[in-house]
């Protein structure tokens, strides 16, 4: 270890030791100030007498411990040393005045009883002639009272003024919420004031921790005290250090901080915190993901389940939100090749740039093509021979697909059928279909088309060596065209924010979380613990989406996270349910039941077998309806194929 590092460690250790002994140092300073106040009181009295009476010296020496001990004891009893000097205020003034007044009253009492009590521990001084006991001069008592308040209180306010004058202009008063996880951050802030954070104390959900001190910082209260403390201490930033906090708790903390005039930051990684390693520069704003309580998922497949390593992987819809994230994550699993397939050249260019795929790079061949083009897809499979297919290409916008049902059917159903059939023909090992919660009891064309896509996959699975799975989940935070980016744009424009129905609820998860779980679900395609993979048409995996979120609550959170007030700064406008929309989404049909898998947030169900004859006839009718551009015929054929599809002009009924 270098000498500089050793020196830095020694300085940090000394700083920590001094901070931990802060209360003792302050008590010693106050004891000295009390002694000074008493000495000055006698000195001023002697000036009044124009002579120094030696009895004053004897009385001062005898009286000194009788003053200092109760004075410091009262300061301790009234918690004078809990607060920080740089935030001294009226609370500290009241404590000092009260404690000093009690000691002063005690001196008057002592003055009265001392001459009448024999054997008193105090060797009470006599006058020069030794005839009478000399009382403590009343002027000494009065001046002591004034000087003690002035010196002890003045020391605190002088410290506050000095700090306010010379402290860094960008230093922020900080309260940390959470003692255990916040301790490393507090220590770092104290040792590195150049970072611009000035911790003043903690708040913790556990009331038993209130009053404790960590690195000289007091636990000032519980969560219910936060708004008051933010105002009282002029806090600029509240740092949330609660690894187990729910989205609701984070939202409430952010609301209280904002009400007090502070912004909110959250500590970065739980693992780093628990090992005591945290950089305060990594503090980040609270996001909607924090409010919704979606924990990050680590993509960690054991070697025996890594079906990606050394394989050629084709990702359709590779430029979309989910497809692009799947591409980024499977890179960690060391595939031989990732085939980027998509219809939008700009989106493909973006994902290729993200993964540093150069033109002509055979590790990442870019294929601009439409999954509905069977001939083009066959050529791709013949040339690339993928081992694994992730089918993420789909039309997903409910209102647009209500207007354009031909596109939904052609892309979501027949595009899926083309890729599934080619996967069987070219010996693909695994085919993973990205499905949606809107496929459950669908009320719109998009949901019905995705449910039909699942049925197409199950039909192919019964006569194929390829392992077919589908993964069903809800809305993804931040995906293009989804509800949250739309709301954020409306807020940025100053409103109004539009809401279709006050009771509208949706499931949400983050894009990285969804992609990780999709990849992990693919690893379970042949997991024997879930039953014989050859015993049914395939496996349907359902992701744990948590609790559904009311969109109105989501809007309130987004507005407040922007530093604005819902209904005041930003208008919320209810516009009515759009055609095909449901108030509540579901993840399972009435006949489906799930069981747990080895991955905690993934559940499996076995879909019902599909009658090939019924499917073939319905698909033929759909094909003809699409060719004829007949929306009524398309919806009718979809109802035959998906019996629980009930199209509605207003899905709230």
**Which tens digit of pLDDT belongs to each residue from 470-516?**
998 877 776 666 677 778 788 888 878 888 788 777 777 788 888 98
CATH number, domain at 488? 3.40.50.720
Query: Do 270 and 380 belong together in one domain?
Result: no
Q: What is the pLDDT of residue 132?
A: 47
- Distance from CA of residue 468 to its chain's centroid? 36
pLDDT, the chain, mean = 79
Residue 443, CA distances (Å) to 123, 408, 414, 446, 568 in order = 97, 14, 20, 9, 35
- Distance from CA of residue 453 to its chain's centroid? 36
Extended beta strands in 222-365, E state: 237-240, 263-266, 284-285, 312-316, 337-342
Residues 6+ apart with CB under 8 A from 313: 330, 335, 337, 338, 339, 386, 387, 388, 389, 390
Query: Do 176 and 162 belong together in one domain?
Result: no
Distance from C-alpha of 642 to C-alpha of 518, rounded to nearest angstrom: 25
**Does 111 reside within a domain?**
yes
State residue 337 phi and psi, 5-degree precision: -160, 145
Tell me the average pLDDT across 210-221.
80
Other Cβ atoms less than 10 A from the Cβ of 356: the count is: 10
Pairing outcome for strands 549-550 and 505-506:
antiparallel
- The DSSP call for residue 87 is G
What's the residue count for the chain? 653
Distance from C-alpha of 193 to C-alpha of 172, rounded to nearest angstrom: 10
Q: What is the pLDDT of residue 168?
A: 46
Query: Do 463 and 590 belong together in one domain?
Result: yes
Query: Do 440 and 484 belong together in one domain?
Result: yes
**Does 521 reside within a domain?**
yes
Q: What is the pLDDT of residue 652?
A: 37
Domain that holds residue 253: 172-286
Number of domain units in the chain: 3
Residue 347, CA distances (Å) to 12, 293, 355, 362, 394 in order = 50, 29, 13, 19, 14
Tell me the average pLDDT across 185-202.
80
Query: Do 156 and 182 belong together in one domain?
Result: no
pLDDT tens for residues 220-272?
889 899 999 998 888 888 998 887 777 778 888 888 888 888 888 887 654 44
Query: Do 15 and 131 belong together in one domain?
Result: yes
Pairing outcome for strands 172-177 and 197-203:
parallel
Query: Do 162 and 29 belong together in one domain?
Result: yes
Buried b (16+ CB within 10 A) or exposed e, 99-123: bbeebbebbeebbeeeeeeeeeeee
Query: Do 238 and 319 belong together in one domain?
Result: no
Distance from C-alpha of 186 to C-alpha of 584, rounded to nearest angstrom: 44
């Amino acid at each position: 270890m270098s000498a500089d590092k050793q020196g830095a460690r020694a300085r940090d250790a000394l700083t920590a030791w001094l901070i931990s002994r802060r209360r003792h140092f302050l008590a010693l300073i106050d004891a000295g100030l009390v002694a000074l106040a008493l000495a000055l009181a006698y000195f001023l009295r002697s000036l009044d007498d124009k002579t120094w009476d030696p009895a004053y010296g004897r009385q001062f020496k005898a009286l000194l411990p009788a003053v200092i001990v109760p004075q410091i004891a009262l300061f301790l009893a009234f918690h004078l040393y809990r607060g920080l000097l740089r935030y001294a205020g009226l609370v500290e003034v009241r404590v000092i005045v009260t404690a000093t007044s009690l000691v002063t009253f005690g001196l008057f009492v002592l003055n009265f009883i001392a001459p009448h009590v024999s054997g008193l521990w105090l060797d009470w001084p006599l006058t020069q002639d030794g005839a009478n006991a000399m009382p403590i001069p009343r002027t000494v008592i009065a001046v002591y009272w004034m000087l003690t308040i002035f010196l002890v209180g003045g020391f605190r306010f002088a410290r506050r003024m000095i700090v306010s004058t010379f402290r860094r202009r960008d230093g922020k008063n900080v309260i940390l919420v959470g003692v255990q996880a916040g301790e490393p951050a507090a220590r770092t802030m104290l040792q590195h004031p150049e970072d611009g954070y000035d911790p003043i104390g903690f708040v913790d959900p556990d009331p038993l921790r209130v009053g404790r001190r960590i690195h000289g910082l007091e636990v000032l209260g519980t969560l219910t005290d936060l708004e008051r403390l933010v105002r009282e201490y002029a806090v600029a930033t509240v740092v949330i250090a609660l690894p187990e906090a729910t989205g609701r708790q984070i939202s409430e903390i952010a609301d209280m901080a904002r009400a007090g005039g502070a912004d909110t930051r959250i500590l970065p990684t739980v693992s780093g915190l628990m090992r005591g390693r945290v950089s305060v520069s990594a503090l980040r704003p609270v996001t909607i993901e924090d409010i919704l309580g979606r924990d990050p998922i680590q993509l960690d497949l054991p070697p025996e389940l890594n079906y990606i390593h050394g394989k050629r992987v084709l990702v359709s819809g590779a430029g979309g939100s989910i497809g692009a994230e799947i591409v980024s994550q499977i890179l960690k699993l060391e595939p031989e090749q990732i085939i980027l397939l998509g219809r939008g050249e700009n989106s493909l260019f973006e994902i290729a740039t993200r993964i540093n795929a150069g033109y002509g790079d055979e590790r990442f061949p870019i294929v601009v093509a439409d999954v509905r083009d069977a001939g083009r897809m066959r050529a791709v499979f013949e040339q690339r021979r993928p081992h694994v297919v992730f089918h993420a290409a789909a039309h997903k916008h409910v209102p647009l697909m209500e207007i354009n049902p031909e596109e939904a059917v052609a892309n979501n159903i027949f595009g899926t059928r083309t890729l599934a059939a080619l996967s069987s023909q070219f010996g693909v090992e695994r085919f993973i279909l990205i499905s949606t919660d809107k496929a459950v009891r669908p009320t719109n064309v998009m949901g019905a088309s995705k449910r039909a896509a699942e049925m197409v996959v199950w039909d192919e699975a019964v006569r194929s060596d390829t392992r077919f799975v589908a993964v069903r989940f809800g809305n993804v935070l931040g995906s293009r065209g989804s509800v949250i980016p739309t709301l954020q744009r409306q807020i940025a424009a100053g409103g109004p924010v539009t809401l279709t129905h006050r009771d509208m609820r949706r499931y949400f998860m983050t894009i990285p979380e969804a992609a990780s779980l999709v990849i992990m679900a693919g690893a379970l395609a042949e997991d024997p613990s879930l039953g014989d993979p050859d015993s049914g048409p395939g496996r349907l995996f359902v992701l744990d989406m948590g609790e559904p979120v009311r969109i109105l609550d989501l809007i309130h959170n987004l507005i407040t996270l922007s530093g604005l007030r819902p209904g005041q700064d930003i208008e919320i406008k209810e516009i009515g349910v759009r055609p095909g929309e449901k108030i509540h989404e579901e993840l399972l049909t009435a006949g489906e039941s799930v069981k747990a898998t080895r991955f905690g947030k993934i559940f499996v169900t076995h879909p019902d077998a599909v009658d090939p004859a019924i499917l073939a006839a319905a698909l033929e009718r759909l094909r003809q309806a699409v060719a004829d551009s007949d929306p009524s015929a398309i919806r009718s054929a979809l109802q035959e194929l998906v019996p629980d599809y009930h199209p509605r002009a207003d899905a709230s009924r």
